[in-house]
Structure 1
Amino acid sequence: MKKRVLLFSAAAVLCILAGLTAYHCSFPLDADRNGLEPAALQWFNRGRSVPYEADRLQLYQSVTVGSRTYVPLELDGRLGYLCLSRGFTGRYKFDHSGRGTGSFRNGVVESDGVRALLFLGRNGDGRIARAVFSPEGGGPYELDIPASPVFLVSAPVDDTVSTGPISIEEITFYDSQGRDITESFDLSGGTIQ
């Protein structure tokens, strides 16, 4: 009888250790996100017969919403982002990504009860000083836009604003003198989820 109890206990401990190891391995990036760039390149090269070279990927300053971190990027000249999920051990894994043509991406996202408007774009010449979003159900929400080749900015939003993209008709750009300069930009792009 004691042998069975010992065998059962040993098997239970091994199962728990195997589960913890599998969980740990499913979050390959440490809390400091060391090794993010090569891991991101590997993420984007999945299934590609001709892989992207490391010099084709540029990562920028990230934004965290709840347990998700959004990392803006350029890959092969296209604007995009990576979404990383943080596990209970503080490590990260790739959740999803998005990229494509166009100069802007936006979306209202929610993670762990935190809801935020994210706006990703290009502003290398610094012409855009501020963007104002007026989504149905809330706002307006003003975001200061840095002069940067690629930026990602965020603002907390009310629970009345639904998650998902905000229509380009509900976005206005202003320069540093407060003039509406929306018409001088192609607002095509994509979403952030």
Structure 2
Amino acid sequence: MSNEVKLHALGGSPFVCRVKIALSMKGIKYENIEENLRNKSADLLKYNPVHKKVPVLVHTGKPIPESLVIIEYIDDVWKGVPVLPQDPYEKAVARFWAKFIDDMCIPAAFKVVDSNGEEKAIAEACEQLQKLENELKVKGTKFFGGDNINIVDIAGDFIAYWLGALEEASKIKYATREKFPKIHEWADNFLNYPVVKEILPPRERVVAYYKMKFGKV
């Protein structure tokens, strides 16, 4: 199976970690190909000519880019533990929230750092997080997926882990436990979920990367 499934990856990327979590949930063996984004491999450029970035899953020679697209592909191809809800409506709702995290929450978090903690940027980031907080309150479950993680939880790996590292590196803290108790409770559960725990990169490495990226060292 490792010859059939290859993952072009970057160890510290939350988007790559999403795919690794989904692969692990399904028990899929794969070959991890670590990329250097300053010197991208010919295969990466060939397999993802549009965005030229990781992750890219290659299954029996066929490439699939973009983390959320890859997760859906994995769920379609390999049965067993479901990553998306089986009910069509619930599946559509899950897709909505996963896309919301990518389109609204993550860009807002980086905007806070790019603006050096401008009040307006923090307010916008908090507004997006509040929507997730409200959704968790409405659901009243341990995870977005209920008792087990699903695609929304996996898409939220940035919020659960990388956001705290970004706050530490930038010294701009706004996503506090007091403001967002449900998100923090969910994050604690998510980070302790067995398949997640074993895949996350060391926190100090993530903090160091962000310090370097944003000139905070």
- TM-score (norm: length of structure 1): 0.25
More helix by share: 2
Structure index of larger Rg: 1
TM-score by length of 2: 0.23
**Larger relative contact order (C-alpha < 8 A, sep ≥ 6)?**
2
